[in-house]
Structure 1
């Protein structure tokens, strides 16, 4: 089994994380005016493995490192979501969460509804911006309490890290509370 298949719920890049956005939250609001997604999303191009570069800390990812998310297009048009992380340290116990996402009609594929617990707990997952080549993505949801910055590389360059943090700030996010993820 590949190492990236042994990671956590919602830790694996945003979608799973966003699924919990519908659960009661106690974290601070880091963006009081979350913008609409900047551009359409090609679901096939978005698919594959993502590494969480940084996030707003949240209860379901607390103490997670090595966070990844993997997305795939299912035959019924839904998206498979596998989130993973290592609890406590890069060599800590693996946690994996699997779910499905459904594209919100009329959203240019940039908004999804994600569920990890069946039809009863559905969270928002908004691809707020992404590189044209899908090498990075900034993900949020309407409450402004959750933010994930995802890249295709486990160790993006310092220049890319800076660029993505600045872009999150331009989208209205408080960059002072962004927590980097170790890989």
Structure 2
């Protein structure tokens, strides 16, 4: 019984800490409906011109004020164009592949920088000790790399010649 009480308290604290999104309308949120219609037409043109699919969700003040899907969630089965593509819906989940790393890293860095916990000019070795040079390293200088060097893809890392080799990649 104590467990259930703690669970109930935990749930109520979480609910207060993380607001739930509610439905609203563009008009109530102060959006210009004609501008949204223009955007809708433009996205439709992009899909008609060959862009596979688009999902758009607009949230303002914890209220969902606009959501729509255009085009297809899936147009190809392997390398074959499907006769009946799977339509995109507002619930479609897209495979973002390697983009996930970029988004997650970007949001995490923005949060840490806004909290003053790191700076783009900080050296990587300050946070990851393995970035300090060691006597046995064949490539020296990684101890000089800054966060901004990695963000700008200017760390100077050599290309991995084994990348296309599936046996070791």
Structure with the largest fraction of strand: 1
Q: Give TM class, smaller chain.
A: under 0.3
TM-score by length of 2: 0.21
Structure with the bigger RCO (C-alpha within 8 Å, sep 6+) is: 1
- Which structure would you say has the larger Rg? 2
